[in-house]
Structure 1
Amino acid sequence: MSQSLEPQKNAELMYQLNDKPSFWPASFAALQHLLASIVAIVTPTLIVAGTLGLGDYVPYLISCALISSGIGTYIQCKKIGPIGAGMLSLQGTSFAFLTAIIAAGLIVKGRGGSPEDILATIFGVSFCAAFVEIVLSRFIHKLKRIFTPVVTGTIIILIGVPLIEVAMTDIAGGFGAEDFGSLQNLFLGMVVLVSVIVFNRSKNPLLRLSSIVIALILGMLAAFFMGRLDFSSLNNVGFITIPIPFKFGFQFDITSFIPLAILYCVSALETTGDLTANAVVSKEPVKGPVYLNRIQGGVLADGVNSMIAATLNSMPSTTFSQNNGVIALTGVASRHVGIYIAALMIIIGLFPIFGAILQMMPQPVLGGATLVMFGTVAVAGIKVLASAKLDRRDMLIIATSVGIGIGVSMVPEVLSQMPESIRNVLISPVAIGAITAIALSLFLPEDTQDADI
């Protein structure tokens, strides 16, 4: 193990960006990247399906998520024309869109829509909103003038905080569970939560990277010995899954489109940060025309890959930050490893048995892991805000935007007298918080006499 850590300690790379490792080193590096990211790829599907009552489609949707992530990873690493960063950068389902996607699904469900209608709307709106990021990729350097650290950090906090309620609900047993809040449910959730914390604090880098995977396995084992796993559902799973483009149809809803469009703007900025960090650990330039070309290509790939994901019945896609740590750990920055990662994702995705096994996971087990994930999202927003020198104007923008966003999520009845079309947009804490933050940032004059706080 000490030898494998030499590249990190010496700040050197075993395989640079365009090197081509042989089969076994490339395969081993690819497996570590997959272990670090696979839970994050499939978890959004499990959460959306559980919240919106789409359980019958979980194995198929997880297969679609993995296959579209594999295709996106290949495009991002290979760089096809102007599309892609051309670095070892994974593509996968994004947590950032969960709040808006769940809100969109609840709107359709509230109108009496079927599960197929819900999925058709989610994927239809995601497909159309992806054009926003595609266009923005050409102007990413100008976007930062609107989405300042104050605005971006506020939005990221509003993405994470409402999702913590979802995680806690899962720990208690899930929406509508007959044994909601039972000691068994809380015990399972705590087993996973404590395991994540313990393994994440391990001195062994591989254990830290795999902490969530290991914790979920331990949670599943605990559930098995408690008699909480039902294997009967595995009998009806097909052998192989081939994604059918727009299998559930294509529907568009403007009230669901607006929050997603805003989030695609935020996702473009997050991708810029992830790709910059990737360039740092890969010993590539972080300024100049080469860097700018990579950023524009990477953000463009994000938009294109999100369109592909929606076409293949999966949720919006984004670059992952997890694999930057794997690059630093292994000293392998070769983008050709991305082809191996993409192949592994697609191969696993082709077999729905994997999704069916994950569907067996009790809600408390999933909640124990996602509580940390969603808390991490909120903390990431706080970290962005901490990087800015906040004055009284900034504090006012943050306080107002977070207060309105979380306030509406806690007391949605405050919008009950508004027209339905407006209410459906503003009911999303991300949408109303983002609109507030952007408006205040644009129209509140900067006071150069404000002292830093």
Structure 2
Amino acid sequence: MLSRFIDKLKIVITPVVTGIVITTIGIYLIKVGVTDIAGGVGAEDFGSATNLLLGSLVLGTIVALNMSRNIMVRLSSILVGLLVGWLVALMIGKASMVDFASQPLLSIPVPFKYGFAFDWHAFVPIAFIYLITAIESTGDLTANCMFSKQPISGRGYLQRIKGGVLADGINSLIAATFNTFPNTTFSQNNGVIHLTGIASRYIGYFIAGILFVLGMFPVLGAVLMTIPKPVLGGATLVMFGTVAAAGIKIIANEELDRRKIMTIAISFGLGLGVMLVPDLLKQAPKLVQTVLGSPVTMSGIAALTMAGLLSLFPESEKSPKRVEASEA
């Protein structure tokens, strides 16, 4: 439903707002990537030299391959980086082979396997969270347009935003039907587009088919689960950094006046403040912690609020300075 009138919010969904959201997404995800390089949350060997070297190997492989003039080498950089990291991890004992005998050959999802019910107490907070995730999706879709060399303003851009938010809702409906969690846009994919230079939606169709097959055959998913966290972190760090760079580029392309700088300052201050001080909302109600505890949500709400407030009080045009002609 939100997707049908999101284009009416163009007065507040400005390039500065989307740039703030995209940058915050990238910065927040960089923390996730670095944590994975160190071994992942709760790892006993967190921060060990082995983990750091393994992540650095993957990162270095991806960067080196992206320097190649051969387009096929560049396109395969992420896959090759992951493969090299996994093989090295296997040799040093950081990864293990899959026990194929313990995995079922085929798994067919059953709709509403655990029944169907509706609870207003659960619906209201989840519906509100859906509204918040639309902010993040708007940022992701804007970055996607930029990496795909599509405009990030105008009617065509707003139509893409509407379609993307609608697709989020439909995907989550399908996910709920087949007993899994709601889903939303994945920021890392923008990094993949930037690294590979491929933004064709037809490639997305093929990938969707591959993921569908992976879901039907648990053994294939089990193979992917053997990839160690440091290997994944080395690959995702590049993608996350690319997302942050995209947001900075969107902001940099704007003519920043006093009001826009104030919006940027407050949005980043609140968003990154929540990330740097996780206990900031420790005493707040659970719903407030869930909604505003996310740096992306906090910066997005702050940016939208500032844009909305400033639109109500337009800045008066400055009168041109009078230039006195000097007498000879």
Instruction: Check whether TM > 0.5.
Output: yes
State the partner residue of 1:122: none
SS at match of 2:40: coil
CA drift at 1:344: 3.8
State the partner residue of 2:315: 447
CA drift at 1:359: 0.8
State the partner residue of 1:131: none
Cα-to-partner distance string for 1:238-258 (whole Å, 9 max, x where unaligned)? 111222335567783755653
Q: Read off the aligned partner of 2:55 and give its amino acid letter.
A: G
Q: Is the 8 A contact 2:173 2:182 kept in 1?
A: no
Q: Residues 228 and 279 from structure 1, CA distance in 2 versus in 1: closer, same or farther, beyond 3 angstroms?
A: closer
| Selected match of 2:275 from 385, 405, 409 | 409
Question: How big is the alpha-carbon RMSD for the aligned residues of Structure 1 and Structure 2?
Answer: 3.6
Distance 1:175 1:334 in 2: 34
Q: Is the 8 A contact 1:164 1:371 kept in 2?
A: yes
Whether 2:245 is the aligned partner of 1:375: answer no
| Selected match of 1:316 from 183, 207, 226 | 183
Distance 1:245 1:239 in 2: 20
| Selected match of 1:201 from 67, 70, 83 | 67
Distance 2:9 2:270 in 1: 24
Distance 1:279 1:196 in 2: 23
Cα-to-partner distance string for 1:81-132 (whole Å, 9 max, x where unaligned)? xxxxxxxxxxxxxxxxxxxxxxxxxxxxxxxxxxxxxxxxxxxxxxxxxxxx
Q: Read off the aligned partner of 1:403 and give its amino acid letter.
A: G
Cα-to-partner distance string for 1:267-287 (whole Å, 9 max, x where unaligned)? 246447746976969xxxx98
Q: Is the 8 A contact 2:19 2:139 kept in 1?
A: no
Whether 2:231 is the aligned partner of 1:361: answer no
| Selected match of 2:134 from 223, 248, 264 | 264
Distance 1:431 1:370 in 2: 21
Q: Is the 8 A contact 1:219 1:365 kept in 2?
A: yes
Deviating more after overlay: 305-314 vs 346-355: 305-314
Whether 2:53 is the aligned partner of 1:187: answer yes
CA drift at 1:387: 2.5
Distance 2:20 2:155 in 1: 29
CA drift at 1:379: 1.5
State the partner residue of 2:251: 385
CA drift at 1:288: 8.0
Q: Read off the aligned partner of 1:316 and give its amino acid letter.
A: N
Q: Read off the aligned partner of 1:430 and give its amino acid letter.
A: V
Distance 2:6 2:92 in 1: 51
Matches for 1:95-174 after TM superposition, within 5 Å? 135-174=1-40
Q: Residues 399 and 340 from structure 1, CA distance in 2 versus in 1: closer, same or farther, beyond 3 angstroms?
A: closer
State the partner residue of 2:326: none
Q: Residues 288 and 172 from structure 1, CA distance in 2 versus in 1: closer, same or farther, beyond 3 angstroms?
A: closer
Bigger Rg, structure 1 or 2? 2
Matches for 1:339-358 after TM superposition, within 5 Å? 342-358=208-224
Q: Is the 8 A contact 2:25 2:296 kept in 1?
A: yes
Cα-to-partner distance string for 1:367-404 (whole Å, 9 max, x where unaligned)? 11111121122122112212222111111111111111
Q: Is the 8 A contact 1:256 1:424 kept in 2?
A: no
Distance 2:226 2:8 in 1: 46
Distance 1:159 1:413 in 2: 20
User: Percent of aligned positions with the same letter in both sequences?
Assistant: 43
Cα-to-partner distance string for 1:189-209 (whole Å, 9 max, x where unaligned)? 111111111112221112222
Q: Read off the aligned partner of 2:82 and give its amino acid letter.
A: L
Q: Which runs of no fewer than 5 residues in structure 2 stay unpaired?
A: 319-328
Q: Which runs of no fewer than 5 residues in structure 1 stay unpaired?
A: 1-134
Q: Residues 185 and 275 from structure 1, CA distance in 2 versus in 1: closer, same or farther, beyond 3 angstroms?
A: closer
Q: Residues 162 and 400 from structure 1, CA distance in 2 versus in 1: closer, same or farther, beyond 3 angstroms?
A: same
Distance 1:176 1:295 in 2: 37
CA drift at 1:412: 2.3
Q: How many residues align?
A: 308
State the partner residue of 1:212: 78
CA drift at 1:413: 2.3
Distance 2:34 2:160 in 1: 39
Matches for 1:238-317 after TM superposition, within 5 Å? 238-245=104-111, 252=122, 254-255=124-125, 257-268=127-138, 270-271=140-141, 274=144, 299-312=165-178, 313=180, 315-317=182-184
Distance 1:310 1:204 in 2: 43
Matches for 1:13-162 after TM superposition, within 5 Å? 135-162=1-28
Distance 1:267 1:410 in 2: 23
Q: Residues 295 and 212 from structure 1, CA distance in 2 versus in 1: closer, same or farther, beyond 3 angstroms?
A: same
Q: Is the 8 A contact 1:216 1:365 kept in 2?
A: yes
CA drift at 1:343: 3.8
Q: Residues 368 and 272 from structure 1, CA distance in 2 versus in 1: closer, same or farther, beyond 3 angstroms?
A: closer
CA drift at 1:318: 4.1
SS at match of 2:227: coil
